Structure 1
Amino acid sequence: MSDSPPVVLVHGFWHGSWCWSLVAEHLAGRGIQSVAVDCEGHGLRGPAPRASTARPFDAAAFATEPSPVADVTASSAAALLADQVRTIGGGRPCLVVAHSNGGVIATAMAELAPELVAGLVYVAAIVPAGGGPGGYYATCPENDSDKLAKLIVADPAVVGAVRIDFGDPARRDEIKNAFYADVDDRTADAAIALLSPDGPIGVPAEQLTVTAERYGSIPHSYVTCTRDNAIPLAVQHRLIKEIDAVSASPTVVTELESSHSPFLSQPAALAEVIAEAAKVCSTRA
């Protein structure tokens, strides 16, 4: 697989590059170079509100403190991702794999700099190919079974972020059910402890437009997660239809019987999908 393009792994809201660790191990075993990045406003690039770690904990302050990542937008995050992909590729286009709201950033980046992208793999991802903001899909009829909305503890318009208290022990089971329903408890608890409280609202709120000439020219695939409680399967199917409406080639769909986080529950299977997409990219090259 030495001819495979470098793989860039893009996480979703509240996560960081850490969530791809198990998948990266499996890709390395296949001889595929991969790098997981921290998106703008997340991981090492995402300071948390002070109230999240203040003791004693003040729930009212946590619900009202302005987010330190409130200035992040889909466009600014896409520009950073383009720089990261450019560095990782070293002159070669990369295969970009995006999860959840990372799909908004990857889509905006592909429209911004299609020459950097050998292919796109979406994993239960939000893809604003229909001409609206990514946040629309949280309100669409197909999303009526999602279990994320009730976890939000602050008004995003007030604090500038989609804020969740991941340290609340009373909500632990709800958090696990939303993100990691089929992940073993030990791994799920470790992941929950690493989640950041703020997802910058500017990412899903920004109106985005993608074109057939730029975004639509990039080969792509979509991994649906049939047991997803964060982005219901019906939403994923709608997104695939909207991608196909603007793309030159139809979406290659792989179904995993997984929760929202197959990178933790089924890393080998997800790595296999990514490896197949990399093989297609290398063939095209």
Structure 2
Amino acid sequence: MEGVTMSGVPIVLVHGFYHGAWAWTDVLHELAALGRSAVAVDMAGHGLRAVPLAGAGRRPFDPVAYSTEPSGIADVGLDAAADLLISDLHRIGRGGPVILVGHSMGGAVLTRVAEQAPALVTHLVYLTAYMPASGTACITYPSQPEGQDNLFMKLLVADPVATGALRIDPRNSDPAEQANIREAFYGDVDERTSAAATALLTCDAPMAMGTDSTTLTERGWGAVPRTYVTCSRDRTIPLALQELFIAQADAAFPANPTSVVALDASHSPFLSMPDRVAEIIAGVA
């Protein structure tokens, strides 16, 4: 690291559902080694902004109480998430544009931010992320033919309408349930790292972020250059669904086509191949 000077447009990294800024730790190290200035932020309702479930820590554990407890982040929609991220971008970019990177459902927040404040973003990078079409809620995609092979929906342990959240149970010690989480999120991540990451997951993701949608315009999101990083072994956002996002975007905004980079990775390449992810981001910069 000696002699490395941070330079270039700032890079802001946004995680997906259940994760936090911690998910980008290894990528941040790799970007620093490349001399790139980058920061990871917590999405609304996640990380240090999460609201813990009382039922998650109750002993003896009561699965019925856990699955019926109302979520403390049920009111966190795309508006709240975008407002928080825009505030972060103003502080990090000091009024100038940044390169904005999003993973999984973080992509929906990127889309809303770029539509509302395109001057704050010089390039969007979607890392196997939701890149929803105009006026389309993300929650509709898993039931489409391209998304039906996803393993994520099988992890849900509560009624999203009743609790206000897409709730999983990462603390479940049943080896079968731990294997399901790993297959859905961390298929090519080494076992030790996968277990550590699972232990850091929050229980809830706000249903409102999945049901909200963003109307896209040529002067907003459609004007910002974008790169999509596909992951061929993703079992949460299947490759066919990733390709659908790209096709829909390019059909809607043909003058600003999506640049595509392919990885042979599962849903979390920031853990399985952080060096390659950092190289791609730095290359965009």
Q: Does 1:267 align with 2:271?
A: no
Cross-structure match for 2:163: 159
**Does structure 1 retain, via aligned residues, the 8 Å contact 2:7–2:35?**
no
How far did 1:244 drift?
1.4
Alignment match, 1:208? 214
The question of whether the paired residues in 2 share the 8 Å contact of 1:14 and 1:42 is answered with yes
Equivalent residue for 2:226, pick from 210, 220, 228:
220
SS of structure 1 residue aligned to 2:43:
coil
Look up the match of 1:239: 245
Q: CA deviation at 1:207?
A: 2.6
1:60-79 superposed matches below 5 A: 60-79=64-83
Residue equivalent to 1:89? 93
- For the residues of structure 2 that align with 1:144 and 1:134, how far apart are their CA atoms? 13
Q: Which residue of 1 aligns with 2:112?
A: 108
Give yes or no for contact 1:212–1:246 (8 Å, CA) kept in 2.
Answer: no
SS in 2 for 1:227: coil
Q: What fraction of aligned residue pairs are identical, expressed as a percent? A: 46
1:176-220 residue CA offsets vs partner (Å, 9 max, x unmatched):
000001000000000000000000011010132111111111000
Contact 1:9 1:97 in 2 (8 A): yes
Residue 77 of structure 1 and its aligned partner are, at CA, apart by: 0.4
Q: Secondary structure at the match of 2:265?
A: coil
TM-score normalised by structure 2 residue count: 0.95
Between 58-67 and 246-255, report the one with greater CA deviation.
246-255
Deviation digits for residues 28-66 of structure 1 (CA, Å, limit 9, x no counterpart): 011111110001000000112110111111100010000
- Does the CA-based 8 Å contact 2:13-2:101 persist in structure 1? yes
CA separation in 2, counterparts of 1:152 and 1:6? Answer: 36
Per-residue CA shift, 1:55-110, capped at 9, x if unaligned? 11110001000000001001110111110111111122000000000000110011
Match of residue 13 from structure 2: 9
| 2:194 maps to amino acid | A
**Runs of 4+ residues deviating >3 angstroms:** none
Corresponding residue of 1:44? 48
Task: Please provide the CA RMSD for this pair.
Answer: 1.1
Residue type at the aligned position of 1:79: D
Match of 1:56 in 2: 60
Match of 2:180 in 1: 174
List per-residue Cα deviations over 1:94-138 (Å, max 9, x = no partner).
000000000001100110111110110000101112421111112
When structure 1 is superposed on structure 2, of 2-11 and 225-234 the one drifting more is 2-11
Name the structure 2 match of 1:20: 24
Q: Does 1:35 align with 2:39?
A: yes
Does 2:280 align with 1:276? no
Q: Give the TM-score taking structure 1 as reference length.
A: 0.95
Shift of 1:2: 5.3
Contact 2:150–2:235 (CA<8 Å) still a contact in 1? yes
Q: Which runs of 5+ in 2 are unaligned?
A: none
Q: Check whether the contact 1:176–1:188 (CA below 8 A) recurs between aligned residues.
A: yes
Distance 2:44 2:135 in 1: 23
